Structure 1
Amino acid sequence: MTVWTDFRNQLTTAPPSVTRAGVATAFMGAASSFAVVAAAAAGYYGARVVLDRRRRAAWAHEWEDISSQWGRAAS
């Protein structure tokens, strides 16, 4: 009978097969790649939202400045 023990000499499960370890490695690689891409996309869209808000505020301020001059005679 084959028995697997850990470093404390306690019973443990058998190590994974080469195929199972390869599948787990591929899955973790894909998951970590997805996490990096998702973080980059979230950062991009977050920065875009902040910059769009600033642009809209600047445009609104400019329109207020321009609209106060409407109706005046050109000099």
Structure 2
Amino acid sequence: MLHRYDFSCSDAAVLNVLRRGKPPYAMAPKQIAERLALTSGALTPRIDRLEEAGLIRRLPVLTDRRRTRGPAHRRRTITNG
């Protein structure tokens, strides 16, 4: 079924980590990487694919314009905190 949406089990794992979070479903990429035992370099392409598919979005960090908060399923948010 995942091939129908053109993403992998590892992409689905990122969404699953977000889904298991508490509202507002915000999580830093570092936290996601730790929960999935991934490096930031391995996580970034997954986040990019999910963002391109419109399943997640990155949010700005209001106190630091250099950073963004991580990806999020439409209802799930990832922060760079």
TM-score > 0.5 by shorter chain: no
Greater strand share, structure number: 2
TM-score w.r.t. the length of structure 1 is 0.22
**Greater RCO between the two (CA within 8 Å, min separation 6)?**
2
Q: TM-score, normalization: structure 2?
A: 0.21
Larger gyration radius, structure 1 or structure 2: 1
